[in-house]
Amino acid sequence: MEQQYFFWKLAYDLVSRHNFEIVHLHLQHGEVWLEKSSQGKTHIIRLLQKEFNWSNQVKADIDHINRQMEKNRRYFSGRKKEMHVIYIAQYPPVDDFTSPSTKLDFNFNIVFLSDDNKENGLDDLTRRLGLDEPLTINYKLPDAPMEYESTIEYMKQQLITYKEKQKQRMKDVFEYGKPQLTYILLMLNIIVFYFLESVGSTTSISTLIEYGAKYNPGIVKGEWWRLVSSMFLHIGVLHIAMNMLALFYLGSAVEQIYGSWRFFITYFLAGILGSGASFYFNDAVAAGASGAIFGLFGALLYFAWRYPSLFFRTMGWNLIILVGINIAFGIMVPQVDNSGHMGGLIGGFIAAQLVDLPKMSHRVYQGSALLLYATLLFSLLFSGIRSEQQVTAGEIQYLQELNEEERYEQVVSMTEEKEDIEGEWEEEWLFQRSFAYLRTGEEEQAFEDLVRAVEIDPGFAEAHYNLSLLYERRGDESNARFHKERAEELNPELQSEAPEEPASSQLNE
């Protein structure tokens, strides 16, 4: 009876006074598993009340624990785990027990709390667990068997109550809100996608730009709303299908944990920071909810930071692996806007700290998160504003598509707004403008642009070909022949071009 009292009193004190969580509770076998994370380390305690006569019985039990730990590794949080195996009995094994013969996968601390070692053993356990208050249990109650029994039953019931409260807290955490806003966002994205398909095409650069895609020259001119509007545009059916599937699952989880208004703030702040990162690091036209969706990953990682034990017992490594796969996929596929994804991931984590989890708030952390977010966003936007004379890949994509759509006057108007252009895309810019000039009959301006384009890039086959046509129209057969031969040498496919028909340049996307 004394051993039972000591066992249940120790388990009860660790839970009630030292905030350990109950992982497993077996009343009949006298076995309790507890866990607590503190200062970057996870302490796992396995309490067992049992008499062992021989050390080989102890070794067999430790082998069993080692297998259990390996099997259930994902249920325990933290990178650094320390396992405390505590045996409570009147006597230790008859033969000496030093260490288990098996290879252990965890840092094991094996303690025998026998009658001649209970006091010293509790002091050692207090030190190893880093407890603020010492573990002191007076288990010698003379001539009071009824008090023993009633107290033991009371502590058992209290531990059962604690276990039920843990389950309820877990349920409350994951069912705080309802995913109503997630469904609204899903519908809005689908409606916008259908609208764009009806007025043009979601794979058309010009349509995307006109309806709010992330377009760096537009943002430089003050169209800051593109940082938000681009979150609702998608490029093709596969793009929106993948993003909406991710939004459905991640959005539902995040909104249920955080509630609707916290989800709303986190989603949009993450999306905006993702757009800001894309603006700074990527000059191509971009669109999609991916930045905001990666922000939901960030919000769940923040949840892992605040609820490590609960996180690893539920989504845990599955989520971390999923984030890693998405990042690796983005690195391997050139078309993916990794800067927007990573900006959204970081923005989601910071935004989650800003709004914090329900029933949890820390003014200093929230203020720091707000300052950090504002600093990052301002730095990205301020640093990303380049000179309007510098040409970007996004502008070339836009001009190319406008030419394909025979909107030559618009190309001329756009390009003539800039003078003394510069940048790695300068020759492409000149070529697209020359093509529009040719179609509008302004051959002199086209000639000047093409001459400059081949000076910048002597290997520009299409520019040589079109220049040969202009030389031929001027009656300069020698230069016409030279540039035509040069064009066909660089790109044999140009031999099939119709006579007098200028070639167009296709930008590698």
Q: Which residues are catalytic?
A: 290, 341
| Strand-pair category, 107-113 with 80-88 | parallel
Give, for 43, the enclosing helix (H) or strand (E).
Answer: strand 41-49
Whole-number Å distance between alpha carbons of 264 and 251? 10
Cα end-to-end span (Å), the chain: 78
* Residue 311 zone, left/alpha/beta (φ > 0; ψ -120 to 50; rest): alpha
For residues 164 and 160, what is the distance between their CA atoms, to the nearest angstrom? 6
**In the numeric block, which tokens belong to residue 251?**
């959005």
Distance CA 298, CA 314 (A): 17
Q: How far is CA 182 from the centre of its chain?
A: 18
**Strand order in 41-49's β-sheet?**
21-26, 31-38, 41-49, 80-88, 107-113
Give dist(CA 284, CA 344) in Å, integer: 17
| Cβ-based burial of 197 (10 A; exposed 0-12, middle 13-18, buried ≥19) | middle
The partner residues of 45 in beta bridges, in order of sequence, read: 34, 84
Q: Decide if 398 contacts 215 (C-beta within 8 A).
A: yes
Residue 164's identity, in one-letter code, is E
Q: How far apart are CA 233 and CA 225, in angstroms?
A: 13
428-448 CB burial, b ≥16 within 10 A, e <16 = bbbbbbbbbbbbeebeebbbe
In b/e form, how buried is each residue of 299-322, taking b as 16+ CB within 10 angstroms? bbbbbbeebbbbbbbbbbeebbeb
Dist CA 435 CA 403 (whole Å) = 8
Of the candidates 157, 228, 149, 234, the residue with the CA atom closest to the CA atom of residue 195: 234
- Please spell the DSSP secondary structure of 367-397, one letter per residue: HHHHHHHHHHHHHHHHHH---TTB--HHHHH
The CA-atom distances, in angstroms, between 242 and each of 232, 245, 408 are 14, 5, 35
Neighbours of 136 (CB within 10 A): 10
* Burial letters 478-496, b for 16+ CB under 10 A, else e: eebeebbebbbebbeebee
Closest CA to 443 of 471, 413, 463: 471
